[in-house]
Amino acid sequence: MTPSVPRTRAAAALRMKQIALDNQSRMIRRLRAKLSTERRESAATKKEHETNLVALEASHMTIAVLE
């Protein structure tokens, strides 16, 4: 083998590692975006539940007054 073969092989190995790191970075960005979306949806759902609870308590008070 010529001396350039090990260098070529090493360069190919470095390229493969860089590709793997790039893929991991993309995956991390995608997962962070997904987590952010899920947190926003969770906060909206929590707010909706709190609103429903307030309305339910108000209707219970109204019913208690009417009895």
Q: What are the pLDDT digits (tens) for 17-64?
A: 999 999 999 999 999 999 999 999 999 999 999 999 999 999 999 998
Please tell me the distance from the alpha carbon of residue 36 to that of residue 47, in angstroms, as a whole number: 17
- Structure tokens, 61: 């008070």
Q: Which single residue is written with the structure tokens 């952010």?
A: 36
Mean pLDDT of 10-21: 96
For residue 1, is pLDDT > 60? Answer: no
**Rounded to two decimals, what is the model's pTM?**
0.64
Model pLDDT, residue 19: 98
For residue 4, is pLDDT > 80? Answer: no
Give SS3 for 3. coil
Checking phi first, is residue 28 left (phi over 0); if not, alpha (psi -120 to 50) or beta? Answer: alpha
